[in-house]
Amino acid sequence: MGAEFLRIQLRRAGGWICESICPGSEFSINHSIQLRAFFMSRKVYVAGNLVPAEQATVSVFDHGLLYGDGIFEGIRVYGGRVFLHREHIDRLYESALAIRLEIPMTHSEMIKAVEDTVKANDIIDGYVRLVVTRGSGSLGLDIRRTSDPQVIIIADTISLYPAELYETGMRLVTAATIRNHPGALSPRVKSLNYLNNIMAKIEGTDAGTVEALMLNHNGEVAECTGDNIFIVKQGVLKTPQPDSGILAGITRNAVMKLAVAAGVTVQECVLTRHDIFTADECFLTGTAAEVIAVISLDGRQIGAGTPGSITKDLLNRFRKLTQT
């Protein structure tokens, strides 16, 4: 049947997307042309301008590419509104300050650039990837030999996990790759160098799960590769404290506030795998993930093995928050 298929390559923001088309199927060549037009219509903010995605480029000498020297934010859009926009921009500038990166825009200019990019791409419900690189420089680590930091803003749609997992809950495995030591690089910096998380993510996907739990250098629970983690024990909501080696997630903070408003006691504390194994409920939070239940860790069922009542309530409250 291979001869009956056509391979169509669609260029999108510097990469290629290949689609297999079977003549006579619902996924027709006309559909492929529509997809290509969709990708080509995307506008990316780079170097102070909105340009077609295929024209959005940076120098190969940019230290963001050469060394992962830069920062980023992932931001959601709901109903055409950039969600928790100020909080994300504040964290971006805090990350920049921590690594001595001077962003060539003010807070208000950055906020406007994000909103303009969302509007230019007609995003109603979607995702923004905001990147700031160190800029072009020599083939060396000296930041004094770099110049012209690049601000890149991409607005698109996103679906991180299959929809059914929000109903059934997801499984986790513990990665052997530990979270970077906070004495080496603070996890509170949302840097472009995500290799630590990527290696742990590979372990998860190799084990057949879509996420993996990461421990810190003390063997305590830190976070997952892209999400913060919570447990519920006897009605108390618990999550690793900031010095456990976590990124202080924007969604994490929002969910904690929602829990307090709902009368749930919230504790930031040291957690171990024992606490997760013996929890009544477990869930993850993240900008892309939102709120999603965890039903097992390393093959061991958590609680009843289904999303718990507090988890489901917080998910409903969070979704209402996104619409206000």
Count of residues making up the chain: 324
Q: Which two tokens stand for residue 8?
A: 């169509």
- 297: part of which helix (H) or strand (E)? strand 290-297
| Nearest C-alpha neighbor of 112 from the set 51, 153, 73, 149 | 153
Q: Are 292 and 169 in contact (CB under 8 A)?
A: yes
- The reply to whether 190 belongs to the active site is yes
**What is the residue type of 160?**
L
Q: Which two tokens stand for residue 53?
A: 């995605």
| Nearest C-alpha neighbor of 88 from the set 268, 249, 259, 321 | 249
Q: Which two tokens stand for residue 101?
A: 């990166």
Residues 6+ away with beta carbon under 8 Å from 198? 225
Residue 306 sits at φ, ψ, to 5 deg, of -140, 160
Residues 6+ away with beta carbon under 8 Å from 111? 85, 86, 89
Single out the catalytic residue among 43, 112, 190, 201. 190
Helix, strand, or coil (residue 2) = helix
- 44: part of which helix (H) or strand (E)? strand 43-46
Residues 6+ away with beta carbon under 8 Å from 78? 125, 322, 323
* Active-site annotation, residues: 190
